């Protein structure tokens, strides 16, 4: 049996290091918001033959004075254009210039800054509601547990683990945004919500085993009981997550460019969530129990 609880300070240190790095990155650089959150226009086209270099494409549109124009390649012959919100007339002017090369328009969307701010606010509210809902559900689900910790403490331990799972991918994308210009959009929020769901599922499995073992081994001390519960569920948690991560890795390598960073956020979040459910959530219960016994 692996002594996870006995080495919990090591796991705390690893997590605190990553959390601190993520918080520092956010404070220094923030996040690079995409058009979903700050407003703007996006146009995706496909070239029939070889796509010109992105610098050459941008230069051909210089006469239109598009604000904050960014051109990026997509796949073999595709290109993405991002610029500030524009009208349909400008959209048609862009297509006239690009049609010289016989391009095919795949999609065009334009979001106003007001809608972008509203999406930001709704995304934050969605995450807060999910976190509170999860915490309340766990407190209710474990309501019959009163010794050595009351049920609401299981909810708080879950919240601490979920904060860990949120802040690490957010910090990573803050770094990617600063150094590589990677933007976040609504897909990133979806990835965070999926991460929360995946993480809390793993955490509940461990907590449920703790609840069962509290009834089964009444004479066992809490530290040994929690450690045994983690070991009994660890193989299942790791196997499930590893299978999902393998699938996501294949999609990250071979999938489309548009979903690449959505998949990366999922991979980091699921890995972080699996780590926290094993090495953070349950050890927090033990640390809390020891603090209460000392007081």
Per-residue pLDDT of 143-154, as tens digits, reads 877 678 888 889
Counting residues of the chain whose pLDDT is more than 90, the rounded percentage is: 43
Q: For position 270, what pLDDT does the model report?
A: 95
Q: What mean pLDDT comes out for the span 99-111?
A: 83
How confident is the prediction for the chain on average, in pLDDT? 88
Q: Are strands 70-74 and 78-83 parallel, antiparallel or unpaired?
A: antiparallel
Q: For position 242, what pLDDT does the model report?
A: 95
Q: For position 229, what pLDDT does the model report?
A: 95
Q: For position 115, what pLDDT does the model report?
A: 63
Residue 239 has pLDDT above 80, yes or no: yes
The pTM score is 0.85
Q: For position 28, what pLDDT does the model report?
A: 96
CATH no., domain 40-111: 3.30.70.3400
Residue 94 has pLDDT above 70, yes or no: yes
Residue 292: how many CB atoms within 10 A of its CB? 11
Q: Are strands 104-111 and 70-74 parallel, antiparallel or unpaired?
A: unpaired
Residue 88 has pLDDT above 90, yes or no: no
Task: Classify residue 68 by burial, with Cβ atoms within 10 Å: 0-12, 13-18, 19+.
Answer: exposed
Residue 205 has pLDDT above 80, yes or no: yes
In terms of pLDDT, which residue wins out, 101 or 196? 196
Q: What mean pLDDT comes out for the span 26-43?
A: 87
Domain boundaries, the chain: 8-35+114-294, 40-111
* φ and ψ at residue 66, rounded to 5 degrees: -75, 125
**Residue 168 pLDDT class (50, 70, 90 cuts):** very high
CATH class held by domain 8-35+114-294: mainly alpha
Asked whether 222 and 154 are in contact (CB, 8 A), the reply is: no
């Amino acid at each position: 049996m692996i002594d996870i609880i006995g080495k919990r300070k090591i796991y705390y240190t690893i997590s605190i290091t990553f959390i601190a790095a993520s918080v520092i990155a956010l404070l220094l650089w923030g996040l690079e918001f995409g058009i979903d959150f700050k407003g703007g226009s996006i146009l995706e086209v496909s070239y029939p033959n070889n796509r010109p270099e992105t610098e050459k494409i941008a230069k051909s549109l210089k006469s239109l004075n598009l604000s904050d124009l960014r051109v990026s390649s997509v796949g073999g012959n595709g290109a993405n254009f991002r610029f500030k919100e524009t009208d349909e007339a400008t959209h048609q002017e862009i297509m006239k210039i690009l049609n010289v090369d016989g391009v095919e328009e795949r999609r065009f969307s334009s979001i106003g800054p007001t809608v972008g701010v509203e999406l930001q606010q709704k995304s934050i509210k969605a995450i807060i509601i999910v976190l509170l809902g999860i915490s309340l559900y766990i407190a209710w689900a474990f309501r019959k547990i009163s010794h050595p910790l009351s049920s609401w403490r299981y909810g708080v331990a879950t919240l601490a683990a979920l904060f860990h799972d949120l802040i690490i991918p957010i910090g990573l994308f803050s770094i990617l945004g600063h150094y590589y210009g990677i933007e976040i959009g609504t897909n990133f929020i979806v990835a965070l919500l999926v991460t929360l769901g995946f993480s809390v599922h793993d955490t509940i499995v461990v907590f449920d085993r703790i609840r069962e073992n509290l009834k089964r081994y009444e004479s066992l001390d809490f530290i040994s009981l929690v450690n045994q519960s983690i070991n009994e569920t660890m193989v299942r948690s790791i196997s499930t997550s590893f299978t999902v991560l393998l699938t996501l890795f294949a999609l990250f390598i071979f999938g489309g460019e548009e979903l690449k960073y959505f998949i990366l956020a999922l991979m980091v979040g699921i890995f972080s969530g699996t780590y926290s459910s094993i090495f953070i959530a349950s050890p927090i219960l033990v640390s809390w129990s020891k603090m209460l016994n000392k007081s």
